[in-house]
Structure 1
Amino acid sequence: MHELPQTRELAAFIAVIEAGGFAEAGRHLGVAPSTLSRTVTRLEAQLGVTLLRRSTRAIELTPEGRDLLIAAQDIVTRTEALTDLAARGRAPRGPLRVNAPVGFTLHVIAPRLCEFHALYPEVEVTLDMTDRPVDLIDSHADVAIRFGPLNDSEMLQRPLGTTPWCLVAAPGYLDRTGWPGHPEDLARLTQVRFTSPSHINNLRFEGVSEPVTVPASVHAENGEAVRSLILGEMGIARLSEFMVAEDIAAGRLVQLFPDLLIAEPLDITALYLTRTSGLRRLGVFLDWLGTRLAR
């Protein structure tokens, strides 16, 4: 009688396929690629079939490998669900690495993380801040928070909400240059512009047929840098509401033509590779963050 594969061996096989290779899967799982290669070889020996065709550049599933992948995903999912059921009486614990844009981290996550820590003190959160998309495997991140349309269809996704845009300026800047009475009056002001993506700089308004072009005063790559320049009275800029809501409430910034600005709200999405049923600390973090954004 053949020895049955163990769940962790099946999970390793799935990880190799989902990552597209042994090296990538090894970085994500924190094990040597050679260990994963031996695991797959052992599976092949146990089952008496060839699961993968290997080359120096890629791996390819055999028909038997495709059959095993489907069965393995079902087994691992069911095992994770049973493990989660057994662990519900225990508090989530362990490390959790979160990758998020700088502004979102500084204005949404960091100021409220004490709430999450009070609920789950044994979850050790590491915050990585970057405004550029990252590879979850290369960055060793458990979850990435991203904005706008996504191309990572192979990843697990959870919508967290949306954020509208605000066109803002410092009152002192407008006192000096003159307060605009109509969107077309913005053309005599200056704009703090994003170097990328440049479409954020486009200003369209209801009742105005063409985009309003505002001369640039300075360019910045980072949303938080743009916010600081606006607070420093360098011009006007379009920023996500979560970045400037407190500034508007405190009077440090004013919102210009909020009822006329045409700008689709940005989707906020969490991307991750590990099912939350198998990583409870990730699941409770996403539940908490989604609740915070809903408020």
Structure 2
Amino acid sequence: MARSEINRTSEMEVFVCVVEHGGFSAAARACRMTPSAVSKLISRLEARLGARLVNRSTRAFQLTPEGCTFYERVTRILADIMDAERNAGAGEQPVGRIRLNTSKSYAAHILAPILPEFLDRYPGVTVDLVETDMVIDLLAERTDVAVRAGPLKSSSLVARKLGDTAMSVVAAPSYLARFGEPVTLEDLEQHNRLGFGYARAVDGWPMKTEEGTAIVPAVGRVQASDGEGLRRLALNGVGLGRLAAFTVREDIAAGRLVPVLEHLNPGDREAFHAIHIGQGGPLPSRVRALLDFLAERGRIS
């Protein structure tokens, strides 16, 4: 096929359709093509690229590593094309869907109060919000932006810092009335320490000692999958929780939670970042608008 006869955009669109629908038959229905036509198009694409993009079988569909890389680049190219076309007639006003992944704590305490302002500012943008504290693969989850707490590992992701927050051990007055207030590290052995049900960068509670800082395991009788779940458990008197200050500030002010062991607080802070795929290349205007908005209005303290 001559270079001038190759419709690369159509090939990209069909390939993305195959990936996002999980197979040739479903993609064929979405693209209004026959399964054999979709399969032949992907085969021609692989032959032209000189790389297998998809591992085919009767029971499973799986991208190869080359297919994953190609999908990442292609989705960005198609997004840029759509962005350019929309901006040509929309005066650079961002439009389109943003898939945002964030922790439940950030969603509840920071994002939800400011989201109406973002939607008013950008009426052409829609937000698909996914809440989880687990670290995700942005490419596999088709995520534009993720807000994450804690140290960042070196990767191909680009990060914009949204600030950091202090950490405190807190408990409900009802819990302290039943079990007493811990004063020393040894006292913690007698208390229910609420923890996370997955591995974290620091898997425990840093506490000051005469020698420096010790990590106290959070090995209570109840674990939760997210910080907001731990907060609700603490509010209901289930146990002690070590939580981000921005999530419990109002609870402490209202007397619903009480800080404990503050004299042993090492003063560590947890950083928050908005991350996205790429290394400084052009971003779709809708993604850039969200990143700028979070840096302006979604900061943590």
TM-score w.r.t. the length of structure 1 is 0.69
Match of 1:164 in 2: 166
- Alpha-carbon offset, residue 284 of structure 1: 0.9
Look up the equivalent residue of 2:188 and give its one-letter code: L
Look up the equivalent residue of 1:146 and give its one-letter code: R
What is the SS of the residue equivalent to 2:108? helix
- 1:82-231 aligned at under 5 Å gives the runs 89-151=91-153, 153-197=155-199, 202-209=204-211, 210-212=214-216, 216-231=220-235
1:202-227 Cα distance to aligned partner (Å, 9 max, x none): 23322344545677242323322211
Cα distance change, pair 285–78 in 1 and its aligned pair in 2 (3 A): closer
TM-score w.r.t. the length of structure 2 is 0.68
Q: Which runs of 5+ in 1 are unaligned?
A: 17-21, 62-71
Cα distance change, pair 87–6 in 1 and its aligned pair in 2 (3 A): farther
Cα distance change, pair 35–91 in 1 and its aligned pair in 2 (3 A): farther
Look up the equivalent residue of 2:274 and give its one-letter code: T
- Alpha-carbon offset, residue 230 of structure 1: 0.5
- Alpha-carbon offset, residue 112 of structure 1: 2.1
Match of 1:292 in 2: 297
Cα distance change, pair 293–261 in 1 and its aligned pair in 2 (3 A): farther
8 Å contact kept, 2:195–2:230: yes
Match of 1:283 in 2: 288
Cα distance change, pair 37–133 in 1 and its aligned pair in 2 (3 A): farther
Look up the equivalent residue of 1:254 and give its one-letter code: V
- Alpha-carbon offset, residue 40 of structure 1: 9.0
Cα distance change, pair 103–81 in 1 and its aligned pair in 2 (3 A): closer
- Alpha-carbon offset, residue 60 of structure 1: 8.6
CA distance in 1, matches of 2:65, 2:255: 59
Do structure 1's residue 237 and structure 2's residue 238 form an aligned pair?
A: no
* 1:249 counterpart (239, 248, 253): 253
Identity of aligned residues (%): 29
Q: Which runs of 5+ in 2 are unaligned?
A: 29-34, 57-61, 67-73
8 Å contact kept, 1:96–1:142: yes
Look up the equivalent residue of 2:247 and give its one-letter code: M
What is the SS of the residue equivalent to 1:131? coil
Q: CA RMSD in A?
A: 4.6
Cα distance change, pair 114–85 in 1 and its aligned pair in 2 (3 A): closer
8 Å contact kept, 2:132–2:226: no
- Alpha-carbon offset, residue 87 of structure 1: 6.9
CA distance in 2, matches of 1:122, 1:81: 12
